[in-house]
Structure 1
Amino acid sequence: MIIEFRCEREPARLWMCRETLPVNGKDVPIRITWIPTAEPRPAGLEALFELERMVLRHGQSGGADRLKDIPEHSQAPAGAADVIVDFTRAERNTDCSARLYLRPLFNGAAGENAALAAIRAGDLPVVEIVNELDGTVIDRGHPSGEIATGLSGALEAVMTRTLTMLTAILSGAPRILPQLTPAASGGTARGSAAYVAHGLAASIAKEIYRLCCYAPHWHVGWRYSETADVWRTGDLSGPDWKVLRDPGYRFYADPFPVKWQGRTFVFFEELDHRVGKGIISAVEFDCNGPVGNVQPVLEEPWHLSYPFLIEDNGELWMIPESTAQRDVAIYKCIRFPDKWERHCTLFSGFELADVTITQHNGLYYLFGAWRDGTGGYSDTLAIFYAENLFGPWLPHASNPVLIDRASARPAGNFVTINGKLWRPVQDCSNGYGAALGLAEVLELSPTTFRQVVRHLLKPGPAWTGRKLHTLNRCGQLEVIDGSRVQPKTTPFLSGLLSTPRSSQWEWHSAAAAKPVARRVQ
């Protein structure tokens, strides 16, 4: 196979400088054909990228940085291209014999300027890959920008996910085409200088905020409800949510409740801001709420979070997120709740976040937010299936099955209501953990997947705070999490009072916390 990238010579970007593209596990050589620049870039754009590189990226280069010299590909294949990927606005060469002529579109328009215009208008664009030989849209995705730094970082995030989509297409994976609507920009595109100035000001404000507050600071909410649960109401109304108090310099997130051996515990990530590494902790609940002490139950040299729990063959298992280790490991409960042993590794060598498993039509299905080393953490969904919990796990025919920052990343356990399968999803349209969607799974098999988000949950009067990204239930116990402003003076005062760790499970109602939340936000 011969793949040809058609790119404008000025400016050349780092993401263009590829000698190969992975296709079906093999590195296929790429030939770059340079064509004249059809439209000038915004004035001063490269200088603004350099300013962002020095100030926002601390001197590190990114995919949107200009290259002084593009090295010639020493092994670039000769002959007619089988596939042409045209990143320009130029007219297609009708004499070419390529079997595929692909052109990425950004909110319906081609070329880097189209992507930049969408970004400067306030959002990352929806990316479509069109086969210009017949006009069909082959794939569609909406990248997330939670790690994008400035205008250059946003452009890099868009182009990175464009290459992810191209890799899937060229590998022959059947594409599942979701309906994605470009987000409202709220107006015309700002000038590049104004956009970068705004980004620099926001970055400075964030640094000041981090000097004064722990960020992000997540906390766990809980309540008991018989019928007015989130899945049936589609909102957070009903009984008041109560907050599992933390000591201030540590946060709690990703709550997973389970009833085992006659006792109910909520497991969650506990992160000490002073260390910056998460462990898995748990606290027992009775009919009135938390009892006893918050206790650590699993710690590794690397960061752990999202302690997904599953019962199988009379045993209790945990799959905590360990993307820092680039593997998916499963732990067996040796003594409930505080002794777990690593049993085996389900996957290794790549990042798969927030792994969540369900059984459906006789198979196990494993969902996770997949990241191929670059790009956002929350926009790409991969599915695997197996006949038993320990595999072998096989990839879904259409992996990645979805690129959508609003509905890809798992947000808790699957639930079945009236015979219908549902999954909570993280909606990162307005940033990581900004909202939570309830998606009905309409089709799920080794070759198909289709879901529809029926409800969108956001922080508000029923659940104060700034974010929301996990939802789970065990019996009548419902748990969620969110983030709040946590001044660094609070844990200092707590330390003066010498509050013992064993008593820090105290709780209060979310309603009672509202005046404080309004004051500090």
Structure 2
Amino acid sequence: MSVIDVLVPQDTVRRLHVVVAERLARLGHDVALVGVDAPGMAPVLENILRFERTALRVRLNSLLDAVPEPKLSPGRTDAALRLDLTGGGGPFASPVLAPRFAGSPSLSEAARLLMNGHLPDVDIVLDGDRSIAHAAPMVDSRLSILRGLDDVLARVATLLVDTAHRYLAGQADGRAGVRPPAANGPTAGEMLRAYALSTVPRQVAGAVKRAVCNLHRWDVSYRFHKGRRVADSGLLAGEPWITLPDDGNRFYADPFPFEWQGRHFIFVEDFPYGDGKALISVAEVFENGTATVPRRVLEEPYHLSYPQVFAHDGEVWMLPEGGAGGNLVLYRAESFPDRWVRHSVLIPERELFDATLLDHGGRLWLFATERDGHGSASDTLVVFHAPGLHGPWTPHAANPVTIDRAAARPGGRFTRVGERIVLPLQDGTDEYGGALGLADLVELDEDKVRLTVPVPILSPEKSTYPKIHTLNSTGRLEAIDCIAPVRRGRRRRSG
């Protein structure tokens, strides 16, 4: 057990500080919150966040919420490590770990970047000198600074806890020698100008778009290819795509083709407007390219998506995304394709998203993103492995493998391209569902996970193809989905 002091502004302890301390304590460390004479958050930022809570009615149990009557302790001379969460970058007894937002210790710099429409990266810096861990957090809401900062701070907590734990075990040296760029925090005037001249116009434009269009919807398209898939070429060129029509009261997304006994099916996320959650439906696709209207096959009290269907040990299984339910649940086809029964919980009490199965090296592996109670579900890659489908499933020693909005969340099945193993990965740099890249799995065992930097999928004209979200294929059938906003009130005929 190591002694860790978490240094915080003595006048304002925030939920973030308590979360970091509690997580480290659960890992077996002796942790105390130590109050320090530090200014804390800039008053202008406090006022902007207060404005969003009241005038914009942003309702959020935020990591920035003040904690009433926190328990503070004096600093300890025997502390093996200190975590500086004061935001001031002041000198403290070594060793000390502290977050940097685009090079600055000040959270105001992260806020300024968000106000100008940019996304801040985070480094964990040792003794103010070098970065030993890095993250590129996903920000789900680009129009609320409070929500955006909460997403960033959620990954600060994830990264800082993991880095501190590994540092004390002698393992945190992955970015040794990398110096983050030095940056000062912005002035009050710079922040006010950024909010007034950049954030507010984007908020107004976003409100108009939401009033006119259903922005968060997708189209599913499919085709029978002639031997050259998107994963083979990185291009959407080739045979024409056919759109799976909806009735205007729902949208379909996350298509997973599956071939069974000579017949072709596409399982999809089926999201009726107004329901607040999606379910799983299936359409049959015929050789002439026509498809049946998707019909419901699986529903839970919580949101379901990403219906990964596969055959294993003579049975047909489905492993859908059900992160809102808090468990990764495996379903078995009792009567394919229409009747599915809950078979087992593979990984309990974890918020896992888009868990993607791989059979490799004599073991089964699951790649997924995890939301650890706060922040986005699209930036923290975790891996699990097991001797067989029914477990036991073991968390990988490298978890979290990466925190990267452009290279963490799976966007479809692993695909073998010659000797390569290719994984589609979602790129949330511009927005959720904004792009998809293809990464090669180059190293995987019980100690290491290594993927290449994803290469964006390109259009037939070899320009980056925007807003593709999922890519899957099986046999001759492949499918994609893309963001496709439509005007409110528009109705589309179902095929």
Q: TM-score range by the shorter chain?
A: 0.7 to 0.9
- Structure 2 matches for 1:50-65, cutoff 5 A? 50-60=50-60, 62-64=62-64
Query: In the TM superposition, what is the alpha-carbon distance from 1:196 to its structure 2 partner?
Result: 3.2
Give the match's secondary structure for 1:453: coil
**Structure-2 change in CA distance of 1:395 and 1:18 (3 Å):** closer
Aligned partner (choices 81, 84, 91) of residue 83 of structure 1:
81
Cα-to-partner distance string for 1:425-453 (whole Å, 9 max, x where unaligned): 00001110100010011111111011113
Q: Which residue of 2 aligns with 1:513?
A: none
Q: Which residue of 2 aligns with 1:29?
A: 31
Distance 2:460 2:32 in 1: 50
Aligned partner (choices 132, 142, 166) of residue 160 of structure 2:
166
Q: Which residue of 2 aligns with 1:374?
A: 374
Q: Which residue of 1 aligns with 2:183?
A: none
CA contact (8 A) 2:271 2:278 kept: yes
Cα-to-partner distance string for 1:341-399 (whole Å, 9 max, x where unaligned): 11001122221011101011111110111001101110101100000011100000011
Letter in 1 for 2:91: R
Distance 1:163 1:259 in 2: 43
CA contact (8 A) 1:4 1:33 kept: no
Q: Does 1:137 align with 2:135?
A: no
Q: Does 1:266 align with 2:266?
A: yes
Q: Does 1:152 align with 2:152?
A: no
Query: In the TM superposition, what is the alpha-carbon distance from 1:86 to its structure 2 partner?
Result: 1.8
CA contact (8 A) 1:459 1:467 kept: no
Query: In the TM superposition, what is the alpha-carbon distance from 1:225 to its structure 2 partner?
Result: 1.8
Q: Which residue of 1 aligns with 2:99?
A: 104
Query: In the TM superposition, what is the alpha-carbon distance from 1:414 to its structure 2 partner?
Result: 0.2
Letter in 2 for 1:439: A
Q: Which residue of 2 aligns with 1:425?
A: 425
Distance 2:220 2:226 in 1: 20
**Structure-2 change in CA distance of 1:143 and 1:230 (3 Å):** same
Residue-pair matches, total: 482
- Report the more deviating stretch, 233-242 or 24-33: 24-33
CA contact (8 A) 2:101 2:109 kept: yes
Cα-to-partner distance string for 1:193-238 (whole Å, 9 max, x where unaligned): 3443443443344344333332311110112222442112212222
CA contact (8 A) 1:5 1:31 kept: yes
- Structure 2 matches for 1:246-325, cutoff 5 A? 246-325=246-325
- Structure 2 matches for 1:98-497, cutoff 5 A? 100-132=95-127, 135-147=129-141, 150-172=144-166, 174=171, 177=174, 191-197=190-196, 198-457=198-457, 467-491=467-491
Query: In the TM superposition, what is the alpha-carbon distance from 1:166 to its structure 2 partner?
Result: 1.5
**Structure-2 change in CA distance of 1:122 and 1:213 (3 Å):** closer
Distance 2:444 2:346 in 1: 21
**Structure-2 change in CA distance of 1:206 and 1:167 (3 Å):** same
Distance 2:118 2:28 in 1: 34
Query: In the TM superposition, what is the alpha-carbon distance from 1:262 to its structure 2 partner?
Result: 2.1
Distance 1:90 1:308 in 2: 46
Distance 1:60 1:127 in 2: 22
Query: In the TM superposition, what is the alpha-carbon distance from 1:129 to its structure 2 partner?
Result: 1.2
CA contact (8 A) 1:57 1:149 kept: no
Distance 2:151 2:16 in 1: 10
Give the match's secondary structure for 1:22: helix
**Structure-2 change in CA distance of 1:181 and 1:297 (3 Å):** farther
Distance 2:172 2:355 in 1: 22
Letter in 1 for 2:114: I
CA contact (8 A) 1:411 1:469 kept: yes
- Report the more deviating stretch, 272-281 or 354-363: 272-281
Query: In the TM superposition, what is the alpha-carbon distance from 1:181 to its structure 2 partner?
Result: 13
Distance 1:57 1:181 in 2: 40
Q: CA RMSD in A?
A: 3.2
Unmatched runs of 5 consecutive residues or more in structure 1: 183-187, 507-521
Give the match's secondary structure for 1:166: helix
Give the match's secondary structure for 2:113: helix
Q: Which residue of 1 aligns with 2:7?
A: 6
Cα-to-partner distance string for 1:296-327 (whole Å, 9 max, x where unaligned): 11112221111012221111100111112111
- Report the more deviating stretch, 381-390 or 105-114: 105-114
Distance 1:136 1:442 in 2: 28
CA contact (8 A) 2:235 2:459 kept: no
Letter in 1 for 2:443: E
**Structure-2 change in CA distance of 1:244 and 1:446 (3 Å):** same
**Structure-2 change in CA distance of 1:61 and 1:362 (3 Å):** closer
Distance 1:29 1:364 in 2: 37
Give the match's secondary structure for 2:291: strand
Distance 1:36 1:334 in 2: 62
- Report the more deviating stretch, 361-370 or 165-174: 165-174
Distance 2:458 2:60 in 1: 35
Cα-to-partner distance string for 1:118-175 (whole Å, 9 max, x where unaligned): 3344322221112228x55321110000146522332222222111012212333856
**Structure-2 change in CA distance of 1:458 and 1:429 (3 Å):** farther
Distance 2:425 2:254 in 1: 13
TM-score by length of 1: 0.84
CA contact (8 A) 2:457 2:465 kept: no
**Structure-2 change in CA distance of 1:389 and 1:462 (3 Å):** same
- Report the more deviating stretch, 82-91 or 247-256: 82-91
CA contact (8 A) 1:218 1:482 kept: yes
Give the match's secondary structure for 1:158: helix
- Report the more deviating stretch, 256-265 or 16-25: 16-25
Distance 2:476 2:269 in 1: 22
Letter in 1 for 2:213: C
- Report the more deviating stretch, 216-225 or 4-13: 4-13
Query: In the TM superposition, what is the alpha-carbon distance from 1:12 to its structure 2 partner?
Result: 5.5
CA contact (8 A) 2:235 2:460 kept: no
CA contact (8 A) 2:226 2:476 kept: yes
Distance 1:59 1:462 in 2: 43
Letter in 2 for 1:430: D
Aligned-pair identity (%): 32
CA contact (8 A) 2:363 2:388 kept: yes
